[in-house]
Structure 1
Amino acid sequence: MSNAAGSVWEHAAATPEAAALRAGEDVWSYARLRDVSAAFGGELRARGVRVGDRVLLVAPTVPEFVVAYLGAHVVGAVVITMNTMATAPEIDYVVEDSGAVLLVAWHRATQAAQRVADDRGLPLRIVEPGAVAGGSEGIDSPVDRDRDETAVLLYTSGTTGRPKGVELTVANLLDTAHILVDELRLTAEDRFGTGLPLFHVFGQAVCLNAGLAAGCSISLLSPFEPVAMLEMIRRDRLSCVAGVPTMWNAMLHAADDFGPDGFASLRLALSGGASLPGAVIRAFSERFGCSILEGYGLTESTAASTFNCLAMEQRVGSVGVPLAGTTVEIRDPLGSVVPIGQVGEVWLRGPGVMKGYWKRPDATATDLVDGWLKTGDPGRLDEDGYLAIVDRAKDMIIRGGYNVYPREVEEVLYQHPDIVEVAVIGVPDEKYGEEVAAVIAARPGAAIDPAELRVWAKEQLSAYKVPHLVRFVDALPKGATGKILKRELDWDALDTATS
């Protein structure tokens, strides 16, 4: 069956009482997950949602996210998932760009979605705990879709311009899930767990879809809190967990009452989203008796391209080797392959590579060349095929595993009447990996209070995108063309009195 929800139907038929989802004391069997998802899909169909229609989902990492996500797939809709911190302007842009016909929002994350729905005259389905759809006939089985049809639309800003919708196909989701099941050696006996956001491609493609494909149980935590995550690992006897570097670091710092004895079942820890320091990997192994394995991927590659797989030597500082079916090449600016060990741009080809950008043929043609995805990330391959990312896409900031694109933040800050020039940069931070910082040249005579500026910015930006560090200068450095030269900004040398 070619549908992202198909595996749930298969496991529900074979092992109906097996645990599919866990959230604290609440356990959902595969039969229950199938039945509630079928009912939700039936409601969407009754509301007029048809194959190919776009449905926007705003929900945290809770079982009800999974129900709404699967229910939309069941009817063949294209699912758009967004951060629960998204503001009304951010949601409105995605709704307009995608042509979404319905908004679905968790009951504690409705304010921004409600505003957009009201302004645009669109229906809003509020999801309460349980997510049981009432008054609609459930769907017997998921719609059988063509493998090259778009299944999800995930918006990402890239390094320039407004956010673009990444089209991931049915094949992208299914093939990536099955490849990960093989690479991670997942079986129905495994107990997967995560505190990652399921609206993000990592949580969605690596945790949710792969876990359901294997028939695992998946323990969900929202919001992430280090002690709660450690307690969940121990309580649910998890065998596999996934997170980003800030999560692993937070767990290490909160682990005084936890040790290897309580984590005997844990065999696999997965990390992505940013580079993980070798010291954290070693400390985690000593504390919990389990190694953290790093991988690499982008939204445009369904989150997974390379991995430090179990069958090979683990190399700290490397993001592993290409997953099955994936090819990695390092190329120079002209597109020619560079010698082994030399740094260049990472190019990918394989089953996870996106279909393209939604209604962006020019951007698609730029980033997809003869089936190859140009990542923009500088990296190098060694003689054994291990990939190391030596930097990241120009200017992008990774704060706590979330991608922050400076231009998007700058465009908002430039709307402030007292800001003349601004450069948004990443500053190293022990907790988040990087913190979002803004260097601002204000209007002569204006006095901008950083705290008030942050409050103002939060009206238009998700909280994690708002600059938490602010410093002021008379003017920003510029090149001959007038372009601001961020590389010449020395954060430590700037006046700290304005932070």
Structure 2
Amino acid sequence: MPAEPPFPHAYQPFPHAVLQALAESPGTVAFEHGDRRVTRGEVLETVGRLAGALRDAGLGPGRAVAIRTAVTPEAFAAHIAAHVLGCRVVGVRPGYPAGQLAHVLGTGVDALLADPSTLTPELAGAAGRPLPLLSLGPCSGASDLLAYAGRAHSLAIAARPDDVAALHFTSGSTGRPKGCAITYRALGAHWAWQPRAWGPAAAELAAGSGRYLLFGTLASMVVFEFLAPCLLGGGTAVIPKDDGRPLFPDALERHGITASIITVPRLCRMLDLLRDDPDRARGLRNLRALMVSGSPIGPRRLAEAAERLGPVVYQGYGQTEAGSISIMTPGEIAAHPPHALAAVGRPHPGVEITIRDDDGREVAPGATGEVYVRSPYLMAGYWGQPEETAETLRGGLLRTRDLGRLDADGFLHLTGRTRDVIMVNAMVVYAGPIERVLAGHPDVAEAYVAGAPDEDTGEAVHAFVVPAAGAVPDAGALSALVRSELGDDSVPRTVTVVHGVPEAVGGKPDKRALLRLL
């Protein structure tokens, strides 16, 4: 490590808090990766070495590096090294089809960083132009950054506050992925990376993250964000090897995991396994914090999760454009009756939520409207899409496109999506309310609604329901329930019973895949 202080600037943008946490406890284990134990000091040394290699490759403030790697300690160090230099980090998710991959790499990328497991010919050629190839390990045609023997970087942060630090992409379920541009100023203000700004809920989450299950991709804002309470709170991030078994609950059991994030489809599958084999729940006795994220979970499933797993389940709400917006703690879940568990928590410190009508005016307390968010870590805009940015960011507020209401205690309740609509007989029908009505039936554990073209009505509503334990949902009864509460236009044309829901990119339920079942 260099003799000079690693944090020489008065202004300390991201990743100052990360470097400080690594430096303050160099002997503690930051990552457990298979048989390897990587200390915080070793991670910090790797950050300095990789930053030196990236610097010598011509990267620095305002330059962009696309990163697509497996989840490893070295991959995390590469992300932090690029941020130390002030680069724009373009996260490349696995699984992009060729067109979307070319779109992501066409956002002004100056170099492509991968590892031997991800640097495929398809990835290397996707940009349609020559790009310098960098690798974490030996790889044909690429510079091996881990073999760099030059001068390590001093870890003086070169980032400029208003430069874009990261492009995090929306799922692309409606077309091309949109790159959400997050500045260094915004990342530096983000609650997850600022322990001094943690509210009680975040501090509680960090305290339970002694052994945090790290999986997925660091290109995901959610994965990257919820790693912070673990590393900054003194915990160890455990990266499981892929042995073909489901992560949940197997990896939780094998590794003595205390905390993790989980998507709704994965949680539902785990609950079904635990229902069939209740003894397995004893293997989860170390679990302290399980954050449900990616999409809202139905009240019935959330209540079941709290009952089977104990007071460890958190409900979170956020967007790629804004990061984590609100959080609901296990204590708050326990205090709500099951029918009120549609709440997704109260906002993090520094986050303001308002509910507004179609003209952007605040509605009366308790009324339903579109959810708007103000916070210091909103995106600066969609990369290269000024018109879409202007539609989404208005006067410092982010239009979430979600419908909801705030109750008297400040809890946000989501009721649907402004764009998750189906045009039936030229009438706007929202999928969210239909899903809530269906999920409220005692024979239904989960409900998903999508629209498809229809010769008679323009579009038609199609419902997909997961049955409650031991139940056989009756399509006629479910249709009658929707008709009685929402009217004829909202009645599903079909009701299909499914026993699991496929995941789209980002862990959300894949409604397109469900429609292919028709």
TM category, shorter: 0.7 to 0.9
Q: CA deviation at 1:183?
A: 2.7
Q: In the alignment, which of 271, 291, 301 is matched to residue 270 of structure 1?
A: 291
The answer to whether residue 244 in structure 2 is matched with residue 211 in structure 1 is no
Q: CA deviation at 1:236?
A: 3.7
What are the residue-to-residue correspondences of 1:151-166 with 2, within 5 Å? 151-156=165-170, 162-166=176-180
What CA distance in whole angstroms lies between the structure 2 residues aligned with 1:140 and 1:355?
A: 29
What CA distance in whole angstroms lies between the structure 2 residues aligned with 1:330 and 1:77?
A: 36
The answer to whether residue 417 in structure 2 is matched with residue 355 in structure 1 is no
Give the corresponding residue for 2:411. Answer: 386
Q: Do the aligned partners of residues 426 and 377 (structure 1) sit closer, same or farther apart at CA in structure 2, a change above 3 Å counting?
A: farther
Contact kept? 1:300, 1:354, Cα under 8 Å: yes
What are the residue-to-residue correspondences of 1:60-459 with 2, within 5 Å? 60-96=70-106, 98-111=107-120, 112-116=122-126, 119-128=128-137, 132-156=146-170, 162-174=176-188, 175-177=190-192, 178=194, 179=197, 183-185=201-203, 186-187=206-207, 190-205=210-225, 207-221=226-240, 227-255=246-274, 256=277, 259-302=280-323, 304-309=324-329, 312=332, 314=334, 315=336, 316-395=341-420, 428=464, 430=466
AA of the residue aligned to 2:374: R
Segments of 5+ residues of structure 1 without an aligned counterpart are 399-405, 411-421, 432-461, 472-495
AA of the residue aligned to 1:14: E
What CA distance in whole angstroms lies between the structure 2 residues aligned with 1:231 and 1:289?
A: 18
Q: CA deviation at 1:145?
A: 2.8
AA of the residue aligned to 2:288: R
Which is worse superposed, 308-317 or 318-327?
Answer: 308-317
Q: CA deviation at 1:294?
A: 0.7
AA of the residue aligned to 1:54: A
Q: Do the aligned partners of residues 188 and 241 (structure 1) sit closer, same or farther apart at CA in structure 2, a change above 3 Å counting?
A: closer
- Percent identical: 25
Q: CA deviation at 1:29?
A: 0.8
Contact kept? 2:354, 2:372, Cα under 8 Å: yes
Contact kept? 1:357, 1:364, Cα under 8 Å: yes
TM-score, normalization by structure 2:
0.72
Contact kept? 2:164, 2:181, Cα under 8 Å: yes
Q: Do the aligned partners of residues 223 and 217 (structure 1) sit closer, same or farther apart at CA in structure 2, a change above 3 Å counting?
A: same
What CA distance in whole angstroms lies between the structure 1 residues aligned with 2:218 and 2:419?
A: 26
Q: Do the aligned partners of residues 386 and 467 (structure 1) sit closer, same or farther apart at CA in structure 2, a change above 3 Å counting?
A: closer
In the TM superposition, what whole-angstrom CA distance separates every residue of 1:66-124 from its partner, at most 9, and x where no partner exists? 1221121121111111211123322221222x21001112322222211225x311112
Give the corresponding residue for 2:41. Answer: 31
Q: CA deviation at 1:292?
A: 1.5
AA of the residue aligned to 2:191: T
Contact kept? 1:226, 1:250, Cα under 8 Å: no
TM-score, normalization by structure 1:
0.74
What CA distance in whole angstroms lies between the structure 1 residues aligned with 2:464 and 2:264?
A: 13
Segments of 5+ residues of structure 2 without an aligned counterpart are 1-6, 139-143, 422-430, 433-449, 468-506
Q: CA deviation at 1:430?
A: 4.6
Q: CA deviation at 1:346?
A: 0.3
Q: Do the aligned partners of residues 470 and 157 (structure 1) sit closer, same or farther apart at CA in structure 2, a change above 3 Å counting?
A: closer
AA of the residue aligned to 1:344: G
Q: CA deviation at 1:287?
A: 3.2
Contact kept? 1:39, 1:133, Cα under 8 Å: no
What CA distance in whole angstroms lies between the structure 1 residues aligned with 2:71 and 2:199?
A: 21
Which is worse superposed, 422-431 or 215-224?
Answer: 422-431
What CA distance in whole angstroms lies between the structure 2 residues aligned with 1:34 and 1:352?
A: 25
Q: Secondary structure of the equivalent of 1:90? A: helix
What CA distance in whole angstroms lies between the structure 2 residues aligned with 1:430 and 1:223?
A: 28
What CA distance in whole angstroms lies between the structure 1 residues aligned with 2:408 and 2:346?
A: 11
Q: Secondary structure of the equivalent of 1:140? A: coil
Q: CA deviation at 1:283?
A: 3.2
What CA distance in whole angstroms lies between the structure 1 residues aligned with 2:460 and 2:160?
A: 42
AA of the residue aligned to 1:166: C
In the TM superposition, what whole-angstrom CA distance separates every residue of 1:149-198 from its partner, at most 9, and x where no partner exists? 32111122778664332111223323221245753222597222243432
RMSD across aligned C-alpha pairs, in angstroms?
A: 3.6
What CA distance in whole angstroms lies between the structure 2 residues aligned with 1:423 and 1:69?
A: 44
AA of the residue aligned to 1:249: C
Q: Do the aligned partners of residues 351 and 159 (structure 1) sit closer, same or farther apart at CA in structure 2, a change above 3 Å counting?
A: farther
Q: Secondary structure of the equivalent of 1:305? A: strand
Q: Secondary structure of the equivalent of 1:234? A: helix
Contact kept? 1:266, 1:290, Cα under 8 Å: no
AA of the residue aligned to 2:464: P
In the TM superposition, what whole-angstrom CA distance separates every residue of 1:14-65 from its partner, at most 9, and x where no partner exists? 2111111122332211011111222122111111111121111112333333
Q: Secondary structure of the equivalent of 1:328? A: strand
Contact kept? 2:370, 2:404, Cα under 8 Å: yes
AA of the residue aligned to 2:177: P
Q: Do the aligned partners of residues 94 and 425 (structure 1) sit closer, same or farther apart at CA in structure 2, a change above 3 Å counting?
A: farther
What CA distance in whole angstroms lies between the structure 2 residues aligned with 1:5 and 1:157?
A: 25
What CA distance in whole angstroms lies between the structure 1 residues aligned with 2:90 and 2:461?
A: 28
In the TM superposition, what whole-angstrom CA distance separates every residue of 1:274-324 from its partner, at most 9, and x where no partner exists? 11133333333333334321111101102x111114675654211011111
Q: Do the aligned partners of residues 353 and 146 (structure 1) sit closer, same or farther apart at CA in structure 2, a change above 3 Å counting?
A: same
Q: Do the aligned partners of residues 87 and 166 (structure 1) sit closer, same or farther apart at CA in structure 2, a change above 3 Å counting?
A: same
Q: CA deviation at 1:386?
A: 0.8
AA of the residue aligned to 1:270: M
Contact kept? 1:198, 1:208, Cα under 8 Å: no
